[in-house]
Amino acid sequence: MFRRKPNTPSPEVSRTSSSSNLASHNSHHPPLKILGLKFVNARLHFLLAVSRGLSVLPPFLGLYRCLLDAWKHRMGDEDSAISSTRSSESIMAGIWCIVAGYLAYAVLDGLMIRWIVTYSTPAAIVRMLSAATLNIVMVHAVHSLISSEQAYQLHIWILISCVLTLAYIIQNFVTSNLALEKKARSVDLIQIAVFAVVPVGMASFLTMLGLIRCLTIVQWDIEAAGI
């Protein structure tokens, strides 16, 4: 007498289907990030943004310094070949500052997703502030150990970018199990290749072109001097 319609799924099937769809939808980080930020008020959301923004402060200051050095060498009274090569070196270092800033932001953004889902919002803010402070200390330590006078910036920012690339790989592994359904941690090689290897590869290619230009300028200067 009370027959169920042939095309009408049972409530259990509907709940299971919607749950599986939600799990597959939230298996990626952006939906989980949006879901976690929905429970954060405006004040805590601002603190999260500030904490995450602190990670790009050292690369931003480094980029400003590199561009300023490039301008000084270009407008200075030094020999043309030397000033041109030093200016190119500063511009290449600025490119690696951009890469380092992007990687630092990406690492902390990925960790923020895990922290706001796993911990309370104040605890996540403390962890983000600690991670941003650690990044600032790491950049300062590399500058102090490798070049105390900070005369050459290119090799320093290349090393910092390599360290941050390794940190991105670790972050990718740590946050790989963020989903409503439990799953084992793994390394997403495609995501690492697109969001970490490609920026580093592009910066390496531009650096190679810049170094070739510097070598050509020096060679022309040597040949003009008759050495």
pLDDT tens digits, 86-96: 888 899 999 99
Contact between residue 159 and residue 146 where contact means Cβ atoms under 8 Å apart? yes
Is this model's pTM higher than 0.85 or not? no
pLDDT computed for residue 8 by the predictor: 42
pLDDT in tens, 168-182: 999 999 988 877 667
Determine the distance from the C-alpha atom of residue 40 to the mean position of all C-alpha atoms in its chain, rounded to a whole number. Answer: 24
Tokens linked to 25: 């939808």
Mean of per-residue pLDDT scores for the chain: 80
**Average pLDDT for residues 212-219, to the nearest whole number?**
86
pLDDT band at residue 225 using 50, 70 and 90 as cut-offs: confident
Give the CA distances from residue 197 to residues 63, 109, 163, 192, in Å, rounded to whole numbers and listed in that order: 21, 18, 13, 6
pLDDT computed for residue 176 by the predictor: 86
Instruction: Give Dmax (Cα) for the chain.
Output: 106
Tokens linked to 181: 């359904």
